[in-house]
Structure 1
């Protein structure tokens, strides 16, 4: 039998630099997908990750 994932959900992280048009390097919106446990982290996640859009490390925030 397969395991039940329980309270784990898949979320999308989006970079804050998407509004800054002056650093444009590529087309599209920089996004990452990951999963989180809803019981342990009920608030929205904020993680520093590499953004290929502006070629730097930026804060990625969870979107719905």
Structure 2
């Protein structure tokens, strides 16, 4: 059984800069990824959302 992993990019909600990339399992997670991460452009911890 092989699991399919997709490369996803997450974007800062405030400044829309693309800061991080993750490998996400497409079979087990159907909703978009939302993580509170540090944004170097905003210089704060901000919510980041997955782009498509």
Q: What is the number of equivalent residue pairs in this alignment? A: 51
Structure 1: gaps of 5 or more residues: 20-28
Runs of 4+ in 1 over 3 A off after TM superposition: none
- RMSD (Å) for aligned C-alpha atoms: 1.6
Pair member with larger Rg = 1
Report the TM-score, using the length of structure 2 for normalisation: 0.84
Query: Aligned match of 1:14 in 6, 11, 29?
Result: 11
Report the TM-score, using the length of structure 1 for normalisation: 0.70
Structure 2: gaps of 5 or more residues: none
